[in-house]
Amino acid sequence: MKLSIVTVAYNAEATIADAVKSVVNQNRDGFELEYIIVDGASTDDTLKAIEPFRSEISRVISEPDHGLYDAMNKGILAATGDFIGILNADDAYEDNGVLKDVAQTLAESSTDALYGDLNYVDGNNPDKVIRRWRSGSMHSKSFLRGWMPPHPTFFLSRKLYIEHGLYSLELRSAADYELMLRMLQKHHTTISYLPRVLVKMATGGMSNVSWSNRLRANREDRLAWRMNQLKPLPWTLLLKPLRKLTQWL
C-alpha cells in the first residue's frame, strides 16, 4: 500500500518544520510513503525551513494558488498513492506510528476511507492539549445529527477523488465539510474509524477564528447540503457547532 500525504503552506516558516518532521519520521513498516508539499509562493522562508528534509520529500510545488483548497487540489492531483491524507503546515501527527496504524487498518478493513481522533493544542506549546475531539463511530444518520470526522485525520482513496471530484472552490471555509459530506453521505463510501489520536492541531482553524467566520461557515454548511442535493434535518446545522462543546469535557 502507498500513502500520499499532502501538506499545504503559505508563509508557514514558523510551523512547517514540525509538520514535516512528523511526516518524515513516521515508521514506514508495511507501506510506502509519498510526501508532497504545496506552497502558495510564500514570501517568507517557508521553503528554506523545509530544505533540511528535502531528500525525504517526494515533490515540492511552489507557485501562486487560489487559496487553501486550490492548493489541496494541486497536491491530490500530483499524488500517486492508494490513499491520500492532508496535513496542514501548522499541524503534526501525534506520534511516529500514526501512518503505520492507518495503513494497517485500511488494509485489514478494505474500506475506501478512514478517520480518527484529534487533539487541539496550544500553538505555542504543542504538548498542552486545549480540546479533545473524540470522533466515535460513524453510522447512517451521523451527518444528519451534526457529526463530521476531523478533516486532518481523514484519509480517502485516490480513486474516489477521481470518481467524485476534488475540493470545491466555491466555498471558502467549508469545502472540507462538503467533500466529506459528498463522499460519505451522498456516495456512501465505506469508512473505518481508528480510535486513537492521529493529529495535533493548533487552535484557531479557519471556520472558528471569529463569530463572523462561524456564521459564514454555517451558511456554507447549508450550501454544502444543497450542492449535493441532500436535505438536512431542521436541527442538523445547529447541532454541528454544539457538538464542539463536548471537546472541552
Cell of 165: 471530484
Predicted TM-score of the model (pTM): 0.94
Structural domains present in the chain: 2-248 (3.90.550.10)
Q: How far, in Å, CA of 125 to CA of 205, rounded?
A: 16
Model confidence pLDDT, tens digit, residues 90-122? 999 999 999 999 999 999 999 999 999 999 999
* Mean pLDDT, the chain, integer: 94
Model confidence pLDDT, tens digit, residues 159-183? 999 999 999 999 999 999 999 999 9
* Residue type present at position 24: V
Model confidence pLDDT, tens digit, residues 36-70? 999 999 999 999 999 999 999 999 999 999 999 99
Q: How far, in Å, CA of 193 to CA of 31, rounded?
A: 19
> DSSP labels for 73-88?
HHHHHH--SSEEEE--
Nearest one of 9, 151, 157 to 71, comparing CA atoms: 9
